[in-house]
Structure 1
Amino acid sequence: MPVVSEQPQGAEPWDEWNPTEESTRPLRGKHRIAKQRAGGVARGGAVLGVGMIAAVGAGGMATAQDKDPGAISVPDLDTAADTVRSIPDQLPDAEDLPGIGSLISDDADDPGSPDGADGSGDTENAATGGTNAGEALRARILAQAEQHRSTQDTEAREEAARQAANAAAEEAAKRAAAEEKQAKAERAREAAEAKRKAEAEQKRKAEAERRAKLARSYTAPLASFQLTAGFGQAGGMWQNDHTGQDFAAPNGTPVKAVHSGTIKEAGWAGSYGYRVVLKLEDGTELWFCHLSSMTKSAGDKVGTGDVIGRVGSTGNSSGPHLHVEVRPDGGDPVDPLPWLRAKGVDI
């Protein structure tokens, strides 16, 4: 708009000015406002450039700096110049802009930068400085993004390492628990085996002691002998199967009481020849047959090893031997050898 001022008193009247198309045509290319570099103007340009970078992305500042500011048509150049000079004072400093000042503060404070605090440099340097500031900001953004990505990668690797360590610790704990369980089972098995062996050894010792004790109370009927006809054996010398065990020995060999007891019978018994019947305390009867002589009579008490007669060949006999029968409770005969061995007699 044209600037209108009052006419001073006493002055000649102004000519009336009527704008025409010719007079209002923009003075394109004739009147340009030179860009100011002094003081806040440079700083204001930096602020505008940084704001433009933040809005459109890094790298756009150079385009903004290179753009032709365009022609300015002003009727009153002095008034327009004063208005332009006052713009930097109304703009905030770049350092005061949120999130922007911290990014360019270093460049703005550098005395050697194109837009330094000293305000030196021409219009070309200002454009170059703006471009460098945009590239610096872009480089800082990329560096921060790379640092953030590197931090995330590091955290991911650390988390993976922690998870791997935890998994390894859990696996080691499970393996240790399984090994401990196996070792415990092995110890239990060894303890059970040791107990079984100890019990078996204890039983063996008890049996040996029992047999030793029986051996002291039971004895073989002859000190020296040879086993001949056995229990249940068939033959023509007896009417039925053999009912006892034959001990071959020389005629007159002493016959001993196998265990302590009472002489029930002593005398002639037909096919048995001379026979001595020894009754034990449990009722078992022992028959000693084919004797050549008898040294005990009915009713006599005898002890283990006492001589009760001598070997002969009386009755139904083919030669000198001792025929022994074992009859539990005086009943049917049983095999003498297992009975004597169960009593600890070594035959």
Structure 2
Amino acid sequence: MTVERRKHRGTPPRSHAAARSRVSAAPLPAALGALAMVLAASGAMAADNGAGSPPTVTTAAVGVAQDAQGYTASDLRRGADPRTSRGGDVDREVLAEQTELQAEQRTRALAALNKKSEQRAAKLKTAAAKQAAKLRAEATKRAEATKRAEATKQAEATKQAEAKNQAKSPAGSPTAAPTTNQWVLPVAGYQLTARYGESSSLWSTVHTGLDFAAPEGTPLVAVAQGTVTEVGYEGSYGNRTIITLEDGTEVWYCHQAAMSVAVGQSVEP
């Protein structure tokens, strides 16, 4: 006798989960009864074929004693529960793989977000630098324009002043010749300690010159172009040097610490 598995018509086959649920829900006595029925069927097949043919048992007949997940009646007798045996191990592995995959996806998403943030920050920094450079260039341009305007204004004012002065001068009047022998001060960094015409017990009459007080060693210069006409010690005047200018004026340098010129020497400021 051959037992065949046929497709159900009208009613869809149950899922593996339903098969597992059905097997796990069956009590142990019911499972043993099912096994006895299978053994009885096997004996009947042996009796029917005893007339000279060997018994024939196909793979489909053996499959009756197994559930959809491959659990046999012996597994059920040992009390194996499909929900906590091999099926449970597979579920834990799948869960671990899904968790690892989610972690990798989250890591990649965070890396992409970080890269995007860095690119955005770089763009903002570049834009700020360009804006600052533009503002500096505009400020420099405005400063140069203001400077040129002030220079133009000053030149125009000078030109107008010159034109006004020329308008005031009589037509054909001679222009004054520039001074070529202008006097200068004889010493720098001085302090006047006595002036011309002052009276004091220090002098027999009024003071006849200007006293320029300066630190010892300060150099003296000629007040104008001239010639040295006298060098030497002269009593109350101390060390004295006389310079005669081109117009005949004599300039006396008195109370010198030292003298470094000679009679007949030409001097100038």
- Give the TM-score category using the shorter length: 0.3 to 0.5
Question: Relative CO higher for 1 or 2, CA cutoff 8 Å, sep ≥ 6?
Answer: 1
Query: Normalising by structure 1, what TM-score?
Result: 0.30
Larger gyration radius, structure 1 or structure 2: 1
Query: Normalising by structure 2, what TM-score?
Result: 0.37
